[in-house]
Amino acid sequence: MERTRRALAEFLGTGLLVTAVVGSGIMAARLSPGNIGLQLLENSIATAFALAVLIIVFGPISGAHFNPVVSLADWWLGRRDRSGLPTSDLAVYIGAQLLGATAGCVLANLMFDVPAVTFSATERTGAPLWLGEVVATGGLVLLVFALARTHRASIAPAAVGAYIGAAYWFTSSTSFANPAVTVGRAFTDTFAGIAPASVPGFVVAQLFGLAVGVTALLALYPNAGETGDVPAAPVATAGTGRDA
């Protein structure tokens, strides 16, 4: 029963995150046609605030991972002393996140009267964007687990929201940093979409970012794996592609 409750929290949290990303992207494109910079600003602000709220709501239940990368890091760092995500829950979390991301994208599409599912035609590929994803994901992992290691989980909503809002602007990829949300966003041909063919490259880059973030964490906080106080955080932003 407890596992089901945590899985539901991950499903709803990831779904609502994607709804915020995709929905605010559609709204931004409609309110500010032709002004990509303003669209990105509107999208980033909405996503940062939504993310902070979702962490507050679902954090006490599941840790508010909303992101396979965060779940994998939690499991890996806590595997020796069993302080992190149990192995038996890892697949449950990731499955719930993937399903939630897809459902959240469909919900956003329906709210704005666009087809429930239309695969994106927006190609996002190339070494600069992949490097941006490594940076964005590595920074996210380092932030989340540094907060856990130093027992500052209470500031995670503000800190993670601020990081994602900033990462929209300082990474070439506009900081997807989340395999589940990357997959979910392939189902909308709107401002936040990513072409299905571009998804594998982003996911691989995010996994590299996971390795970078965990390596940096262990170098800076050698005992990081000894804490079970994971504030958690997701992420995936919308963005505009190569020229963002």
Q: How far is CA 243 from the centre of its chain?
A: 21
> Cα–Cα distance between 189 and 214 in angstroms, integer?
34
226 falls in which pLDDT band (50, 70, 90)? low
pLDDT higher than threshold 90 for residue 222:
no
Instruction: Classify residue 242: in a domain, yes or no.
Output: no
- Whether residue 235 lies inside any domain: the answer is no
- Residue 83's pLDDT is 79
- If one counts the domains in the chain, the total is 1
Is 49 inside any structural domain? Answer: yes
pLDDT of residue 224: 53
Residue 195's Cβ-count burial label (10 Å; 0-12, 13-18, 19+) is: middle
Cβ atoms within 10 Å of 92's Cβ, excluding its own? 17
Which two structure tokens, joined as six digits, stand for 121?
């035609």
* 149 falls within a domain: yes
Looking at residue 61, its amino acid is: I
Q: Is 11 within a domain? A: yes
Q: Provide the domain limits for residue 215.
A: 2-226
What confidence score (pLDDT) does residue 50 get? 98
User: Does residue 21 lie within any of the structural domains?
Assistant: yes
Q: What does the pLDDT read at residue 244?
A: 35
Q: What is the pLDDT of residue 84?
A: 86
N-term to C-term CA, the chain: 44
Q: What is the pLDDT of residues 190-212, one digit of tens each?
A: 999 999 999 999 999 999 999 99
pLDDT of residue 243: 37
117 within some domain:
yes
Say whether pLDDT at 157 is over 70: yes
Tell me, what CATH number does 180's domain have? 1.20.1080.10
Instruction: Look at the block and give the residue holding tokens 């990829």.
Output: 173
The answer to whether residue 240 scores a pLDDT higher than 70 is no
Name the average pLDDT for the chain. Answer: 92
Percent of the chain with pLDDT over 90: 86
Residue 223 has pLDDT above 80, yes or no: no
pLDDT digits (tens, 9 = 90+) for 66-88: 999 999 999 999 886 777 899 98
pLDDT at position 230, please? 52
Say what the pTM is. Answer: 0.91
| Residue 232's pLDDT band (cuts 50, 70, 90) | very low
For residue 137, the model assigns a pLDDT of 98
Q: Average pLDDT of 163-182? A: 97
Q: Is residue 237 part of a domain?
A: no
Range of weakest confidence among 176-180, 207-211, 224-228, 231-235: 231-235
**Torsion 4-151-168-211 (CA) sign:** negative
**Burial status of residue 88 (CB atoms within 10 A of its CB: 0-12, 13-18, 19 or more):** exposed
* Calpha distance 159→147 (Å, rounded): 9
Tens digits of residue pLDDT in 20-52? 999 999 999 999 999 999 999 999 999 999 999
Instruction: Grade residue 164 by pLDDT with cuts at 50, 70 and 90.
Output: very high
